[in-house]
Amino acid sequence: MRFLLDVVIDGKPVGRYPVPAGRSIVIGRGEQADLCVESEPKLSRRHAEVWLEVTKLKVRRLPGSFNPIFHGGEPKDEFEIEQGAFFVIGKTRFRLVAEEAPEVAAEVPAPEEAHIQDTIGSQELYAIGASSDRLRLLDLLELPEILRTKNRNDFYLHIAGMLRLATGATWACVASEEGKVLGQDSSEDTAVRPALSRTLVGKALGVSPQPTLYCWNKSQDYHATAAEGVDWAVCAAARIAGEPSLVFYAAGAGNQPVGVYRESARFVGLVADMVGRSVSNDRLQEWQGRLRHFFAGPVVEKILSSRDIAALEPRLAQSTVLFFDIRGFSQRTEEKNQGILAHVHELRDAMTVMTRIILDEKGVVLQYMGDGILACWNVPYDDPDHVDRACRAALAMAAEIGRATGGWKCGIGIHTGEVVAGAIGSEQVFSYSVLGAVVNQASRIEGLTKLIGVPILVTREVTQCVSVRTALCRRIGTIIPAGTSTPLELSALAEPGQPPADHAIYAEALTAFEQGNWDRSIVLLARSPIEDGPAQFLVSHAIENRRYPPADWRGVIRITQK
């Protein structure tokens, strides 16, 4: 004797579902239900659990289901029914029926046991066969483009239809490894879909992407299958980087030679392999896009192209380092957080423009520091023009900041030399960065731009390397920044071309100033325009020292306040 649930919706029969002995089944409208009645809106995803006890069917409403189960005209949460009795959920009636099982000579397999089990090996999977294989190959070659142009749901529906038609199945689907159906296609208009064989899915996941074939013994009728009308099933799985595996499943009825089913299994395996590779590639590109929002492009390429994380280990390297800061932003926002919020969109717009300029010059943005940027060149990849590129970027940034923000100004400091570059941080989390005296000095130089009255300051090492076609360097003097003891010979950076007349006046005044002849220097600087920041800087320094250099004067200006 075998027992089945006769399912009728609004008086219309939709099919019968076997109730196996020894295990429970779940009725619902979700993908995890064993008996899924998708057209019954009153069903929850997992609504009821039923199981056989000898000849009676036990029924239990599951927690989380919203609508009642009616039995005998009354809502009940737990009850039992005998052969011929029924219960109702919404407009769907579930009646327990019994049929005599056909006589068989051998022992009847359990519902998940297959008469024939076969896994297609890798060599056979990728072999080229008959002309029909070539036609199927065309379908496979179209998959990456279809994935690119369709959303995932439509793509899975397309795959399910392709699997069903190519294999001659009555039902096919794409599912997650947990059994959630993502897309399905059926040759029969029925509200009850077949259940996935858990054993078959498990075997396919274990040998991904090689497909596994099950053929149940037809002489034992559907008692040996997971659902009525299913004589064979094929399943293949695809491992997806960063996502649950995908399961490709096709099932049908019939009594074909095993070789026919093996060819169908081979096609399902090839689809799984192709989709797995395509989806994983899309995921990789998506990750690259996301990483580029947090890491500079060259750093992303270095991370993804390095087989060993040791390639990112800190190393000594020559690099040109640039510090950028928006002048006055901190004063604008220091009183309240609301002040920051009022300007945050303007700040993002400004940083977007500045970042684009750096990237256009092949620079690497290492860090955003509130209203500042740390960038570098020549790491992690070599660039022989790194000094020129950094100087061109600085000139463009100084020119664009006002236009991008409606009048904001900036300070930029550039230094070049040996740094420690690589993955800096902890064992758990690290960032690609540069460390060393060059980095610290570039930061301090940027801090002097406001004091000296120029947008860009560079060191002597930069002026010795930058091309005259790239920038004009105006020597400012030798300065020791606050908090340091290292003198830095600094120059202001300007667009290339003929130096203006006041630059020559400043050069003569600077020579007198460094030689200790401050009176002559002040007289010469008086001829400079009032907006000449470096000239005003020298005059102010002389006046603060009562117009006389100190006794130990060596032509070096020491800054005492940051």
**Residue 9, domain CATH:** 2.60.200.20
Both tokens of residue 28? 């619902």
Asked whether residue 41 carries a pLDDT value surpassing 70, the answer given is yes
End-of-domain residue from the set 497, 525, 543: 497
Domain boundary among 290, 315, 348: 290
Is the bond preceding 209 in cis, omega lying within 30 degrees of 0? yes
3: which strand partners? Answer: 98
Claim to verify: residue 39 and residue 134 sit in the same structural domain: no
Residues 286 and 314 both lie in one domain: no
Element (H, E) at 454: none
Give the CA distances from residue 2 to residues 15, 69, 84, 109, in Å, rounded to whole numbers and listed in that order: 16, 24, 13, 14
DSSP 8-state symbol, 408:
-
The pTM for the full model equals 0.55
124 and 239: one domain?
A: yes
Band (130; pLDDT cuts 50, 70, 90) = very low
Element (H, E) at 81: strand 78-81
Q: How far apart are CA 211 and CA 237, in angstroms?
A: 7
Specify the pLDDT at position 193.
63
- Whole-angstrom distance, CA of residue 326 vs CA of residue 400: 12
d(CA 481, CA 459): 12
User: Strands, E, within 137-219: which ranges?
Assistant: 171-176, 181-186, 212-215
The answer to whether residues 246 and 334 belong to one domain is no
Q: What range does the domain containing 517 cover?
A: 499-562
Closest CA to 182 of 160, 210, 198: 160
Residues 532, 510 share a domain? yes
pLDDT (average), residues 326-342: 62
Mean of per-residue pLDDT scores for the chain: 81
Domain boundary among 460, 479, 497: 497
Are residues 244 and 168 located together in one domain of the fold? yes
54: three-class secondary structure by DSSP? coil
Q: Which two tokens stand for residue 49?
A: 């659990």
Q: Are 269 and 311 members of one domain?
A: no
Q: How confident is the model at residue 348 (pLDDT cuts 50, 70, 90)?
A: confident
Q: Which residues contact 403 (CB under 8 A, 6 or more apart)?
A: none
> H or E segment at 138?
helix 131-149
Phi, psi of 343 (to 5 degrees): -115, 0
pLDDT band at 217 (very low <50, low <70, confident <90, very high): low
Cis peptide upstream of residue 380 (ω within 30 degrees of 0): yes
Q: What are the tens digits of pLDDT across the range 499-547?
A: 887 788 899 999 999 999 999 999 999 888 888 999 999 999 888 887 8
Residue 111 within a domain: no
Helix (H, G, I), strand (E, B) or coil at 274: helix
Q: Tell me how far apart the alpha carbons of residues 353 and 360 are, in angstroms, rounded to a whole number.
A: 11
Q: Is residue 462 part of a domain?
A: yes
Rounded CA gap, 521 and 504, in Å? 13
Confidence of residue 179 (pLDDT cuts 50, 70, 90): confident
Confidence class for position 109, pLDDT limits 50, 70, 90 = very low
The answer to whether the CB of 461 falls within 8 A of the CB of 416 is: yes
Please check whether residues 143 and 275 belong to one and the same domain.
Answer: yes
User: Which 3 state secondary structure label does DSSP give 101?
Assistant: coil
Helix, strand, or coil (residue 4) = strand
Q: Does residue 221 belong to any structural domain of this protein?
A: yes
Residue 10's pLDDT is 82
Beta strands in 100-243 (DSSP E): 116-119, 171-176, 181-186, 212-215, 232-238
